[in-house]
Amino acid sequence: MKVKRLLITLIILGSLLVAPTDSTMAAGDELSGTIKEDGSTSVLPLAEAFALRFMKLHPRVRVIYGGGGSGTGAKDCAKGQVDIGATSRELKISEADLISYPIARDGVAIIVHKDNPVDELSLGEVARVYAGEITNWEEVGGKSGKIRLYSREEGSGTRDVFESKVMKEKDISGRAYFKKSNGEIQTAVARDPGSIGYVSLGYIEGTKALSIEGVKCTVESCKKGDYPLVRRLYFHTKGTPDEPVKAFIDFCRSEEGQKIVEQLDYIPLTL
Amino acid sequence: MMPRYLVDKISRKAVLLCALASFFILVLIVVFIFRDGMAGFIENGIGAFLFGTDWSLKRGEYGVGVMILGSISVTLGTIIIAAPLSITCAIFLAEIAPPEVREVVRPAIDLLVGIPSVVYGLMGMVWLVPLIRDHFGGGGYSLLAAIVVLTIMVLPTIISLSEDSLRSVPRHYKESALALGATDWQAIWRVLLPAARPGIVSAIILGMGRVIGESMACYMVIGNAFAFPSSVLDPSRTLTSNIVGQVEEAAYGSSHMHALFACGIVLLVFIFIFNSVSFTMGRREG
């Protein structure tokens, strides 16, 4: 009895070992292997949807995505720990030896609590709020109450975009609450009536996305280019990718891949 | 059949090897933290690093003044609440509780030690933070939230160590006190507690070490602002929460990473101080 069970276990283990796990073993028409990705949490929902669809098309390929933020994506990719590093910002000069592939565009939404009467802010107002120059909702047409800022830690791709497009020369106030991911900001803002935060467009559920400069924050306005806070999302590889990584990136950038982009409320690459 | 003395010799060597291995791991950890961390001190200047209040990748300035103060206030706040609570609980368990109660409570407390800190952090984030926001004001993420979560986390450690030291006081101390006409409470307060004091103090200081080193639970509730808190309802930032918050985005070998390692050195110094105090306190009288 025991021997039999041991034998079965060994067979299962053996077949796991024999199963092709290396991308170089791909042969013939069928792609196989494992693709490891990590990086930006703004890309996370999209990367997961890409992976699911791609694995359905090519059952012998496994795609694994981990979060960690844009910095992690670029770092792990440069070290060869992952096949694809995802960022929600362009590469920095220190990371420039990677090859970048834009895979989608994404809006950065300024979000507040659902019950907050404020619907609209100008870019300048958002900057002054985050710099700590405007500290009460009354000053921007809301109910009297302290504004509580929620920000990402330095190094976040979403924060990079927010700083370059909104804050410009100003610094984000040190009195803000700092969080590590889009999801944490979304949760905090959804539960705090005095809050304001900034997240990837895919994370606005349960909160209210403010109109910026009079333009509503929707997929349509981002697509048309009216909404001012739009950035590109990237996959990066170290050197020219082999199969199946190349096929995966091509798939993401194909028409079919860009359909997934639209379904998930990101913005497709081509206008 | 191997000669018996040979077995003896081999097992002695094997045990020695294991003991040395854990010592070498400690040495390696210290060497690596210092290798990268000293660079952080040198790049910023020791004074500017320890007392500077500006931490910014953009400007390339790293100062941990705010975080050192944050770590100290969280630790002190926690111990002020946790120490009396846990000592009373230890007295109850060691002297007052009937055996049946103790048999249930003590294992439960020991079990609490094993709960991962993220779980405490999660509960703090989901239950405690909104509670503080609604009833005390502020954003909820605050020094107070961190102090409450860490108090709950550190109670079991201090309770079990204090109870052990209360129990190790020889029985005849208390019996003599009772024989001289002291009440039960007088015997506990005047005889038992002073006799167990070195053990209790070292339990508290070990607890402080646990608090200052706790990272994840702290990060989840403290709010992580880069500013001196003006009340317990303000957010703050500790050395550990700073490392947790930024390590994922720091490029290896960058001055950012060096600065994070330097935070590690500061923590190591704190822990070293706590442990040596606790060690000497525990040894006194004996």
pLDDT digits (tens, 9 = 90+) for B74-127: 999 999 999 999 999 999 999 999 999 999 999 999 888 888 999 999 999 999
pLDDT of residue B164: 92
For residue A145, which of A110, A208, A187, A195 has the smallest C-alpha distance?
A195
- Res. A266: pLDDT tops 80: yes
Mean pLDDT of A160-167: 90
Pairwise CB contact (< 8 Å): A177 & B248? no
Pairwise CB contact (< 8 Å): A178 & B225? yes
* Residue in chain A lying closest to B235 (CA): A177
Among B140, B224, B250, the residue with its CB nearest the CB of A192 is B140
Name the helix (H) or strand (E) containing B56: strand B55-56
Tell me what percent of the residues of chain A surpass a pLDDT of 90: 29
The angle at the Cα of B182, spanning B192 to B101, to the nearest 5 degrees, equals 55
Mean pLDDT of B164-180: 92
Read off φ and ψ for residue A232, nearest 5 degrees: -95, 150
- A175, A179, A182, A195, best to mutate vs chain B, most B CBs in 10 Å: A175
ipTM: 0.83
pLDDT of residue A118: 92
Q: Per CB distance under 8 Å, which residues of A are interface residues toward B?
A: 68-72, 74-75, 79, 94-95, 148, 153-156, 163, 171, 173-180, 188, 191-192, 194-195
- B218, B248, B255, best to mutate vs chain A, most A CBs in 10 Å: B248
Whole-number mean pLDDT of chain A? 85
Tokens of B101: 């109660």
Residues in chain B: 286
Question: Residue B56: exposed, middle, or buried by beta-carbon count in 10 A (0-12, 13-18, 19+)?
Answer: middle
pLDDT of residue A30: 74
pLDDT of residue A22: 44
Among A94, A174, A180, the residue with its CB nearest the CB of B251 is A94
Question: Residue B173: exposed, middle, or buried by beta-carbon count in 10 A (0-12, 13-18, 19+)?
Answer: middle
Mean pLDDT of A96-103: 87
How far does the CA of residue A150 sit from the closest CA of chain B (Å)? 9
pLDDT of residue B200: 93
pLDDT of residue A20: 47
Q: What is the pLDDT of residues B135-158, one digit of tens each?
A: 998 888 999 999 999 999 999 999
pLDDT of residue B251: 72
pTM of the model: 0.81
- A153, A179, A196, best to mutate vs chain B, most B CBs in 10 Å: A153
Mean pLDDT of A76-102: 86
Q: Which residues contact B50 (CB under 8 A, 6 or more apart)?
A: B63, B64, B65, B68, B266
| Residue B160, helix vs strand vs coil | helix
Reported confidence tier of residue B221, pLDDT bands at 50, 70, 90: very high
* Residue in chain B lying closest to A194 (CA): B139
The b-or-e profile of A105-128 (16+ CB within 10 A means b, else e) is bbbbbbbbbeebebeebebebbbb
| CB of B52 closer than 8 Å to CB of B63 | yes
pLDDT of residue A15: 54
Number of helical H runs and strand E runs in chain B: 13, 2
Separation between Cα atoms, residue B36 and residue A198, nearest integer Å = 34
* Residue in chain A lying closest to B125 (CA): A188
pLDDT of residue B247: 84
pLDDT of residue A2: 57
How far does the CA of residue A35 sit from the closest CA of chain B (Å)? 21
Among B140, B226, B249, the residue with its CB nearest the CB of A155 is B249
pLDDT of residue A10: 58
Reported confidence tier of residue A75, pLDDT bands at 50, 70, 90: confident
Q: What is the pLDDT of residues B238-256, one digit of tens each?
A: 999 999 988 877 777 778 8
Going along chain A from its start, the domains and CATH numbers come out as 2-104+230-263 (3.40.190.10), 107-224 (3.40.190.10)
Does any CB of chain A come closer than 8 Å to the CB of residue B172?
A: no
Chain A residues with CB-CB distance to B130 below 8 A: 191
| CB of B79 closer than 8 Å to CB of B151 | no
Pairwise CB contact (< 8 Å): B139 & A174? no
Minimum mean pLDDT among A23-32, A205-214, B137-146: which range? Answer: A23-32
